[in-house]
Chains A and B, each alone.
Chain A
């Protein structure tokens, strides 16, 4: 047998290649099974960039389903709470051009707002508690409810179900602790001499 193969170079080559193919094919097949990725990593990455308000303004029930949908080719500009910053980040990740925010889904807010319950008007119906996607409302049936401010994402979902309209979306207080230096105004378009003191004034 070996002699026969040795005397037929064509056969020998064929045999060698086929056996190599089988070995490596098997190896690849094994690796594909063994190191299989659970879930789509790109969904995870997109989900990480979304603001996690879980507000549903994009039309999906939560941020993760929208991330899934983006991974499947949906538009990336449907997230008003994230605004342009989020769109840019996702565009950067997916290497696609960054469109402007789709106004159909809502407008980007300058200042983050948070829900406040006017507690003396609350009738304790628990409807807002059921609506809150992040369990940030505390209360029980026929007892007053209140919002845990530090957990509220400002998603707005509790406002509509309230039968007595006692929930306000109020802007977060911008105190000294939250303040940071603003970006210096770019006045590169100005002609330098227009702001310079005139020579006779300086003299």
Chain B
């Protein structure tokens, strides 16, 4: 039994986990439509690769090229794509985002897929590629692409692999149920990741002691192996990545750093099961285990839900009582967010749907003044000063907020939970974080704009300067020319000038033969013009207006004159 460390702070809210653990993981009938948002992870969304009306099979990729940053999404069941448009998605903003809507055909027909029987013979790089192709993002809540976590960094080899089985938030039992019922898959997932990470020296499963059955299930399955199951006292928020690492190893992730800086990788139960299915069975991430709970639901239970299933479908099969529901929360009561619509779909990060009754989670009481009791500082798991942060958040003093390490806040909500004045502390921090991030982006933009403005100014100045230089050069040249001209003029007599002019005229004059040819050409052209003018005149007299006739006759007259003139010239020359 390895030593455990205790994190600072933490709270003990009522667990409320037993309600949803009375039955095994259930399955729901296939919903009529599946709404699959394209952006379900941290990073850029991939581009849609299907068209409306196209038939898709279960497990078919709906997006094009996938890499570490833009994970693909897959059809959760077979059917027809009926829409690709903006729909409400599971996001605290309640805004719409691009989704692919599939009308299921009920056949649930799989696309051709194959896994690898012996992953140990496989290059870790190929396994990572398969994990990316399967669209696996962290299923604990943040949705960080799993393959990025597992990609080797050159400077720090991974020596500790931590499996986050804590599930510290009240009500949620999805991981607990998965550990009890899908133990074999989980162990295989751990082995695969161990292989990818080049067999780290320590593999630790961190689990709270409020899940005795899961602990027994895990221990009985991994008797002979080098995986250690570490149980520790229940406290919220032990399941935060940084908190769990401290509990299990006593080491702190540096501020602004990642677990990989310590040579650690931390993955969630759901993610590991998804990895097993991707590698061994060749199945992409198209379903997950989600807890449906709360007093407003008649049935509290875990379900293996297809990604894209509308929440309304889940609720309809759980005797949902809308009148008794104070709020519909995606995630847990501490860190989850309220949904504004029941039409939003289940996504890769949906671990719980909590339909709470009014007695369970009453509506927020109005915030009162801070009485500086200091309870928030006592419960903060990141050892921050929530009270100070609150003042600065109200004053919008971003410099001081950052100086007080606002960005180390994990938004666990323990401070808001204990606040006797009902101050929504964590909401203040979230909004301040957003504002600071926005200010940083604006700063980059404005620096960029300044640079462009200054470059443009420089360019205009340079162009102006060049123009000035050219003008100056031209002026000098004319002055010089004038000066030389005047010297020439003053130095010669009038007779010389006349002689020079005659000389010039002589050189210009051509031989009589050339002149004759020129006049002949001119005569020909003039004659053809005359003919044309005559034709036009006859046409105009036949169809045109009086004005046209007049114009045509005038041009005819001028053409005739031209011909006469040229003939005269030619005669003169031959004489």
A64 and B457 alpha carbons, distance in the complex (Å): 12
Asked if B466 CB lies within 8 Å of chain A CBs, one says no
Instruction: Report the separation of the CA atoms of residues A184 and B413 in the bound assembly, to the nearest whole angstrom.
Output: 14
Q: Is the CB of B366 within 8 A of A181?
A: no
Distance in Å: Cβ of A177 to nearest Cβ of chain B: 9
Residues in chain A near residue B17, CB distance under 8 A: none
Quick one: CB contact mask for A43-56 with B, threshold 8 Å, 1 for yes? 00001001111100
B97 within 8 A of A: yes
Q: Which of the residues B95, B437, B452, B457 comes within 8 Å of A175, measured between beta carbons?
A: B95
Q: Is the CB of B434 within 8 A of A133?
A: no
Flag whether A183 is at the interface (Cβ < 8 A). Answer: yes
**Known contacts A181-B430, A184-B428, A184-B431; is A192 also within 8 Å of B366 by CB?**
yes
The answer, yes or no, to whether A188 is at the interface (CB within 8 Å) is yes
Whether B452 contacts A176 by the Cβ 8 Å rule is no
The verdict on A186 contacting chain B, using a C-beta distance below 8 Å, is yes
B448 within 8 A of A: yes
Report if B453 contacts A (CB, 8 A): yes
Tell me if B428 and A183 are in contact (CB < 8 A): yes
A119 within 8 A of B: no
List B contacts of A63 (CB < 8 A): 450, 453
| A 26-63 binary contact with B (CB < 8 Å = 1; else 0) | 00000000000000000000010011111000000011
**One of A54, A176, A182, A188 near B449 (C-beta < 8 A):** A54
CA A133 to CA B454, docked complex, whole Å: 9
Interface flags, B268-311, vs A, CB<8A=1, else 0: 00000000000000000000000000000000000000000000
B365 within 8 A of A: yes
Q: Which residue of B lies closest to A152 (CB)?
A: B449
CB distance from A34 to the nearest CB of B (A): 28
A135 in contact with B455 (CB, 8 Å): yes
Q: Are B367 and A188 in contact (CB under 8 A)?
A: yes
CB of A144 closer than 8 Å to a CB of B: no
Query: Min CB distance, A157 to chain B, in Å?
Result: 11
Per-residue CB proximity of B417-453 to A under 8 Å, as 1/0? 0000000100110111111011000100111111011
Contacts of B365 on A, CB cut-off 8 Å? 192, 195-196
Contact of A180 among B424, B428, B434, B453 (CB under 8 A): B434
Of B85-93, B238-246, B376-384, the one contacting chain A is B85-93
B428 neighbours in A (Cβ, 8 Å): 183-184
Instruction: Report the Cα distance A143→B507, complex, angstroms.
Output: 48
Residues of A within 8 A of B437 (CB): 180
- State whether B367 touches A187 (Cβ < 8 A): yes
Q: Is A151 an interface residue (CB 8 A)?
A: yes
CB closest residue in chain B, given A136: B452
Fill in one digit per residue for B208-249: 1 if any A CB lies within 8 Å of its CB, else 0: 000000000000000000000000000000000000000000
Can you name the residue of chain A whose Cβ is closest to the Cβ of B370?
A188
Given contacts A52-B453, A134-B452, contact A181 B367 (CB under 8 A): no
A153 near B: Cβ within 8 Å? yes
Are A176 and B91 also in contact (CB < 8 A) when A190-B366, A197-B362 are?
A: yes
| Distance between Cα atoms of A5 and B135 in the complex (Å) | 94
CA distance A54 to B450 in the complex (A): 8
**Interface membership of B113, Cβ < 8 A:** no
Q: Could you say which of B92, B433, B438, B449 contacts A53, with CB atoms under 8 Å apart? A: B449
Query: Quick one: CB contact mask for B337-373 with A, threshold 8 Å, 1 for yes?
Result: 0000000000000000000001100110111110000
Chain A residues near B536 (CB-CB < 8 A): none
User: Given A180-B435, A183-B428, A192-B365, is A52 in contact with B447 using a C-beta cutoff of 8 Å?
Assistant: yes
Smallest CB gap from B447: residue in A: A52
* A191 vs B366: C-alpha distance when bound (angstroms): 8
Q: Does B39 contact A (CB under 8 A)?
A: yes
Verify B438–A180 contact, CB threshold 8 A.
yes
- Whether A181 and B431, one on each chain, are in contact in the complex, defined by CB atoms closer than 8 angstroms, is yes
Inter-subunit contact B368/A188 (CB<8 Å): yes
Would you call A153 and B449 a contact (CB within 8 A)? yes
B34 to chain A, nearest CB (A): 20
A176 to B94, CA, bound (A): 9
A197 to B368, CA, bound (A): 16
Asked if residues B448 and A151 are in contact (CB atoms below 8 Å), the reply is: yes
| A183–B367 alpha-carbon span in the complex (Å) | 13
Minimum distance in angstroms from B44 CB to a CB of chain A? 9
B137 to chain A minimum Cβ distance, whole angstroms, is: 16
- Closest B residue, CB atoms, query A194: B366
| Interface presence of B569 (CB below 8 A) | no
Cβ contacts under 8 Å, B89 to chain A: 176
What's the Cα separation between A175 and B86 when bound, in Å?
11
- In the complex, what's the smallest C-beta–C-beta distance from B433 to chain A, in angstroms? 7
A176 to B435, CA, bound (A): 15
In whole Å, how far is A193's beta carbon from the nearest beta carbon of chain B?
Answer: 9
Q: Smallest CB–CB gap between A1 and chain B, Å? A: 62
- Expressed in whole angstroms, the Cα–Cα distance for A82 and B367 within the complex equals 31
Any A CB within 8 A of the CB of B456:
yes
Known contacts A151-B448, A176-B39: A184-B456 contact under CB 8 Å: no
Inter-chain CA distance A196–B364, complex, in Å, is: 9
B423 to chain A: closest residue by CB = A184
Taken together as a complex, chains A and B put the C-alpha atoms of A27 and B442 apart, in Å, by 45
15 A-B residue pairings within 8 Å (CB atoms): A47-B450, A52-B450, A54-B449, A62-B453, A63-B453, A151-B448, A174-B95, A181-B430, A183-B428, A186-B367, A188-B366, A192-B365, A192-B368, A195-B365, A202-B359
Q: Shortest 7 CB-CB distances between A and B: which pairs?
A: A180-B434, A52-B446, A181-B430, A52-B449, A134-B452, A179-B93, A184-B427
- B interface list, Cβ under 8 A from A: 39, 89, 91-93, 95, 97, 358-359, 362-363, 365-369, 393-394, 424, 427-428, 430-435, 437-438, 442, 445-450, 452-453, 455-457
Which residues of A come within 8 Å of B, CB atoms?
Answer: 47, 50-54, 62-64, 133-136, 151, 153, 174-176, 179-184, 186-188, 190-192, 194-197, 202
